[in-house]
Structure 1
């Protein structure tokens, strides 16, 4: 069972690892939904923990539809993140008509050059999530996981789609479905009993007072571990 925790800095990363996290998603600007952190932060975090660090690559919070200039920034960021030594990236891009931007996805895969890729919750904004998932299945050799709330604001609300994607992912080679958004100590038992996912993604729910402005609460991570194994 993989427990992934959002980290914003070295303190978060060290605390999460110490208390049982298996992997980190490193981000900044959580009020914007999570943007690319500085390269200095990436380097500090990668050098401070032993667990894998996947770095958010998202230049702005306006949308998941990117201009040519945005795409250049994304590719340059990916190359720099790889040079620093991160385990992977977290990325998602859509076309204006609500489909996955497959042409750009291929360029991102090429730039990642073997790093793990998580396709993030941009998939929740697609016009047909299950069709988008089927497209990503074609890239199972390159895309490690799909962070999704099942097309709803929270994973608990999106259980139907999450269950369907997990079922399909067990039928043929696929990226691992990584449920996220709204997961907490209070609901993870219910969610896990229905989904039996291999990985779960936690954010503010593992922090003091449930706020990204507060530090990680290691006791909560340990309690979640006891529930999901």
Structure 2
């Protein structure tokens, strides 16, 4: 099972890798759900993690709040994706919605294209995770979103299976539905409320082999 450690800056990255984290989601400002980390944090984390055989997924999010972005903010995200690629990040994590809670197709097409610019390591460019903006979508739109994202080269969707603040155990049935629907097209990555204490239980119940969280491995 892949345990993805959600890291706020570099502070606990080395300890998390020692504790068994096999992938890092790197961000800043977890108090607002995560934003893009600084150049230096990305550079240092990628250098350390990749030398230890651990992938790094860099958050691309210009601010907290909702996931409806202006043209200027999308331009910022494009620049940040280019920076992440130049520093060796394995992949990037982003999500854009319209006011109606639908996928922002024009913005996503531009961001995905930038992420898929070939690198020295991969002709298909960086990996892509669509983050928990997914949970802000109306449930009836989520299956179509899975189809569109998989068709456009998104590798996984990070989801709580329900609105922020809900209990992960209560969301297991929805996570099961999402994982079954997405099987063979992209990965459903459960997160929020998953720790080293319940990771195996949640993964087994949902039927997935990847889990995400700030406490996904035991530190200290």
The interval holding the TM-score normalised by the smaller chain is 0.7 to 0.9
1:55 is displaced (CA, Å) by 0.4
Aligned counterparts of 2:163 and 2:66: Cα–Cα separation in 1: 17
Aligned counterparts of 1:4 and 1:60: Cα–Cα separation in 2: 22
The Cα offsets for residues 7-54 of structure 1, whole Å up to 9 and x where unpaired, read as: 123342211112211100001111111110001110010011221100
Normalising by the residue count of structure 2, what TM-score does the alignment of the two structures yield?
Answer: 0.87
1:152 is displaced (CA, Å) by 3.0
Picking from 148, 152, 159, the partner of 2:172 is 159
Picking from 104, 109, 113, the partner of 2:107 is 104
Q: Aligned pair in 2 of structure 1 residues 9, 166: CA closer, same or farther (>3 Å)?
A: same
SS in 2 for 1:54: strand
Aligned to 2:39: 39
Aligned to 1:142: 153
SS in 1 for 2:174: helix
**CA-atom RMSD in angstroms:** 1.8
SS in 2 for 1:94: coil
1:126 correspondence with 2:137: yes
1:205 is displaced (CA, Å) by 5.9
1:90 is displaced (CA, Å) by 0.7
The Cα offsets for residues 150-205 of structure 1, whole Å up to 9 and x where unpaired, read as: 123343232121100111122xx321000000012343343233112120001146
The number of equivalent residue pairs is: 206
1:1-229 map, 5 Å: 1-50=1-50, 51-113=54-116, 114-128=125-139, 131-140=141-150, 142-153=153-164, 154-170=167-183, 173-204=184-215, 206=217, 217=219
Q: Say whether the 8 Å CA contact 1:136–1:143 is kept in structure 2.
A: no
Please, which runs of 5 or more residues in structure 1 have no aligned partner? 208-216, 219-229
Aligned counterparts of 1:142 and 1:70: Cα–Cα separation in 2: 22
